[in-house]
Amino acid sequence: MPYEYYSLMMFGVAVVILLLGFPVAFSLAGTAILFSLFGVYMGEFNLTFLGAFPERIFGIMGNETLIAIPLFIFMGVTLERSKISEDLLDTMGLLFGKVRGGLGISVCIVGALLAASTGIVGATVVTMGLISLPTMMKYKYSPSLASGIVSASGTLGQIIPPSIILIILGDVISSAHQQAQLALGNFSPTSVSVGDLFVGAIFPGLVLVSLYIIYIIIIAIFKPMAAPALPPERLAEFSRKEIYFRAVKVLIPPFLLILGVLGSILAGLATPTEAASIGCLGGIVLTAFKGQLNMKVLREVMVTTTHVNCMVFIILLGASMFSLVFRGFAGDEVVHELLTNLPGGVVGAFLVVMVIMFIMGFFLDFFEITFVVVPIVGPVLLMMGLDPIWLGVMIAINLQTSFLTPPFGFALFYLRGVAPPSVSTMQIYRGVVPFIFLQLLMLVVLWFWPSLATWLPGVVYGT
């Protein structure tokens, strides 16, 4: 058997083991070690490749960009404990309550604000599912429409910065870009940072929120019973002046936090890692302002942050071992040959990779796909001339769509776990279908207008 086939077999075995439900990090590292030993036995692998693994660990430990991950996790978990989402949903619901579909619009806006404040997808879906879904059902919203709005809005944390997912993807894309440039003979390549991807994702994220809101307005016009206005007796509890005052009071703190985090990045005053520390401080101040900060809450935040952070980095170490052995079997050359020989050139290669990632998103988490698949296919696609920022945003939206797609979408599982018994699984599935098409439309728009993702980074960073 040609030794190049070992890399494809190794990838296939790893996917099967992951689908069987074994822990991700140990599945990746264990598959890599077993195949390396098998390769040595067959005389097709050189164990000196494994000598580079300690250097990779040291590189991960010394990667300043990755420090932003525990900081943003801390910020997100802190804000989750601050009960800010309850205040936002209640107040925004009152603000738009007179309009048919106003409560659904409020959920979308709050989802975007929480995404820009926390950056944690699962937590946002669960929080909004616990708070907004029962409220929408109480005011006679269609169960499928309400489920679709909550699921789609909850996944906005994947594309709207600051997102933990964008941090990881940005770091991987940056490494892939450097590899591609070196392979092309450019020994002084331009750098692509997490900040570039943050800035590049802003407009696509806002357009996606706008598409959601437009869809809700259309449904409210043609199917008013599916998205009714709030009853007059609920709106009569407060005067319009009181509602406006509450809205200002509730919106100012998260806006200041977003301004401090994203504004410092856009203004060039801070790197994403430095901005994350600003977010941590802002999260603590905001939680204290809400009267929710005490030693018990702080201890819970620290424990949760540690658990999530350990999960992310142990997967990163396992994926690092996997990619090292994969390259030892010349897997990168095999992938390069496969993609470059596909019909359709760069378009064909890009579409095949996007379809594969979309399907993998049914079964694997974003972390596994980003750590394992993107380092393999990223350099090849970038060598074919694709823009790294545009590619990163396209991958993020593609996987966001995958996580919404029945029957395996992770967001659907999150929502199903907290949805009232009156909301059936099929209603959840039907509700997300229109939003899946809206996200596919967003991918098409980005395909024809890539400047939607690349223009603002060029203005901010001069790239």
Identify whether the C-beta of residue 272 lies closer than 8 Å to the C-beta of residue 127: no
What pLDDT score does 144 carry?
92
CA distance 285 to 252: 13
How is residue 80 written in tokens?
Answer: 């989750």
Which tens digit of pLDDT belongs to each residue from 86-106? Answer: 788 878 888 887 888 888 898
CA distance 457 to 108: 26
What pLDDT score does 123 carry?
64
Identify whether the C-beta of residue 107 lies closer than 8 Å to the C-beta of residue 149: yes
Helices (H), 229-344: 232-235, 240-266, 272-289, 295-328, 331-340
- Give the three-state DSSP class for 236: coil
Domain ranges within the chain, ordered by starting residue:
63-293+329-461
Distances from the Cα of 281 to the Cα of 28, 78, 79, 199, 446, angstroms? 36, 10, 11, 22, 35
Helices 194-222, 388-402: inter-axial angle, 10-degree rounding: 40
Identify whether the C-beta of residue 439 lies closer than 8 Å to the C-beta of residue 396: no
CA atoms within 13 A on the CB side of 38: 14
Identify whether the C-beta of residue 34 lies closer than 8 Å to the C-beta of residue 266: no
Of 320, 318, 329, 316, nearest to 36 by C-alpha is: 329
What is the identity of the amino acid at 96? Answer: F
What pLDDT score does 1 carry?
57
Per-residue pLDDT of the chain (463 residues; tens, 9 = 90+): 566 678 888 888 887 887 777 787 888 889 988 988 888 888 878 887 788 888 888 887 877 778 888 888 888 788 777 777 778 887 888 888 788 888 889 888 888 887 766 556 666 777 778 778 888 888 888 999 999 998 888 888 788 887 778 888 888 898 888 888 887 777 776 778 888 888 899 999 999 999 999 999 999 999 988 888 888 777 777 777 888 888 888 888 888 888 888 888 877 788 888 888 888 888 888 888 877 888 888 898 889 888 888 887 888 888 888 888 888 888 878 887 888 888 888 889 999 999 888 887 777 777 778 888 888 888 889 988 889 999 999 999 998 888 788 766 777 877 887 788 888 888 888 999 999 999 999 999 999 999 999 998 888 776 5
What pLDDT score does 346 carry?
87
CA distance 223 to 229: 12
Distances from the Cα of 245 to the Cα of 110, 139, 204, 460, angstroms? 17, 24, 31, 34
CA distance 81 to 364: 28
CA distance 453 to 463: 12
CA distance 77 to 301: 6
What pLDDT score does 231 carry?
81
Which tens digit of pLDDT belongs to each residue from 75-85? Answer: 878 877 777 77
How is residue 246 written in tokens?
Answer: 């509450």
Tell the residue number behind the tokens 């919203």, with chain if given: 141
What pLDDT score does 435 carry?
93
Whole-number CA gyration radius for the chain: 23
What pLDDT score does 116 carry?
65
